[in-house]
Amino acid sequence: MGYYSIVIVIISVIILLAVMISLALYISANNYIKKHSSEIYEKNEPLSSECRDLASFLLKQQSTFKRYLAENGLTQTYNCSNSVLSNAENNPIKYLIKYSDLDYDIQCLEELDFCETFSEKLGIFYEKTDELYKQVSKTIPNRVYIFLPKEKFFVKICNIDLSFFPQSYPVFRFLYISPAGKSQREYKIFITTDVIKEIKSELSRKLNKYSHAKVQRNTMTNDLRNAIKKRDNYTCCICGNSIYKEPNLLLEVDHIVPISKGGKTEADNLQTLCWRCNREKSNN
């Protein structure tokens, strides 16, 4: 056997050993997590449960979020002139509203309100999962941390598959292609929580000329809802049920004097109700 052949054999053996060691460490890390998953989950409460509850909420609402964005034309590519693209760069919200499929009505605002809530919770979810991953990494052996990627960690510890969640913001694209097709420009508007809030604000401003009912419903912002729920200690004002008794309880903000009877969207005329009591009140 020649010198080079011996070198190749030695290198091959080293590579094989390295692969076998890596595989052994990977298996060891997975066995450690399998054995201690419940213990790790409990040690990091309430953060573990917060991540899992947020994931459950987002998975249930994600298809509606995507549908609302698509139906309102907020995730399309709009082919436009060079001047329109330049104007969009200078005034993105105005041109986003103009060239999307948004309507100046209550339904559109309600859909945007839903999207705003979803987007906010998605941001909180990623903050919480990052926090949990960093927190756990300080308490488990390095060999486990190194060989257990974040995605697999959440599947094994919290039963959360991160691949189901969007890794970037939805995008509205203005696209200009020259007549000869030799050059093109594009401008992207990322549909962040702040962008959704700006869209809502602009739509609400233009709707103020409409009827009392429409104006009052426009005033019911996500921030106002959260303030009323916080004021009422996240407790139903009729039955007394709360998120402390039922963590996933759906709470809604209701007008004490209905808008149809002249009620206004003001703190004194708003109350927190669970979805059951709100439905019963609406049917009476």
Maximum average pLDDT range among 27-41, 140-154, 198-212, 218-232: 218-232
Q: Which domain holds residue 75?
A: 3-207
Q: Is pLDDT at 10 greater than 80 in this prediction? A: no
**Is residue 18 predicted with pLDDT exceeding 80?**
no
The pLDDT value given to residue 40: 81
> Which pLDDT does position 262 carry in this prediction?
78
pLDDT band at 273 (very low <50, low <70, confident <90, very high): very high
Residues 34 and 174 in one domain: yes
| Mean pLDDT of the 205-213 span | 66
Q: Are residue 34 and residue 87 in the same domain, yes or no?
A: yes
Please report, as a single letter, which amino acid is at residue 134: K
Backbone torsions φ then ψ of 223, nearest 5 degrees: -65, -40
Same domain as 216, residue 110:
no
Residues 8 and 145 in one domain: yes
Q: What is the pLDDT of residue 225?
A: 92
* pLDDT over threshold 70, residue 187: yes
Give residue 2's pLDDT.
64
CA distance 50 to 129: 9
Given this model, what pLDDT does residue 229 score?
96
pLDDT digits (tens, 9 = 90+) for 49-69: 999 899 999 999 999 999 999
Integer Cα distance of 123 and 144 in angstroms: 27
183, 248: one domain = no
Structural domains in the chain (count):
2
Q: Is the pTM of this model over 0.85?
A: no
What is the average per-residue pLDDT within 251-255?
A: 94
Pair 175, 78: CB distance under 8 Å: yes
Q: Assess whether 217 and 166 both reside in one domain.
A: no
Is the pLDDT at 208 greater than 70? The verdict is: no
Q: Are 260 and 175 within one domain?
A: no
Query: Which DSSP category does 267 fall into?
Result: G
Do 230 and 185 lie in one domain? The reply is: no
Q: How confident is the model at residue 210 (pLDDT cuts 50, 70, 90)?
A: low
pLDDT at 149 over 80: no
The residue out of 207, 239, 273 marking a domain boundary is 207
Q: What angle do CA 62, 67, 73 make, to 5 degrees?
A: 130
Out of 172, 207, 242, a domain closes at 207
Position 84, amino acid: V
> Residue 160: which pLDDT band, with cuts at 50, 70 and 90?
confident
- State whether 282 and 193 are in the same domain: no
Q: Residue 12 belongs to what H/E stretch?
A: helix 3-43
Whether the pLDDT of residue 1 is over 60: the answer is no
Tell me the CATH number at 246.
1.10.30
Assess whether 193 and 284 both reside in one domain: no
> Is the predicted pLDDT of residue 245 greater than 70, yes or no?
yes
- pLDDT for 284 equals 67
pLDDT one-digit tens code per residue, 21-38: 777 777 777 787 778 778
Residue 3 has pLDDT above 70, yes or no: no
State whether 243 and 185 are in the same domain: no
Higher pLDDT, 218 or 102: 102
Quick one: pLDDT at residue 206? 75
Q: Are residues 218 and 200 in the same domain?
A: no
Q: Work out whether the CA dihedral 104, 116, 56, 71 comes out positive or negative.
A: positive
The listed range with the strongest mean pLDDT (13-17, 80-84, 162-166) is: 80-84
Residue 75 confidence (pLDDT) above 90: yes
Q: Calculate the average pLDDT of the chain.
A: 87
- Choosing from 187, 207, 227, the residue where a domain stops is 207
Mean pLDDT of 211-216: 69
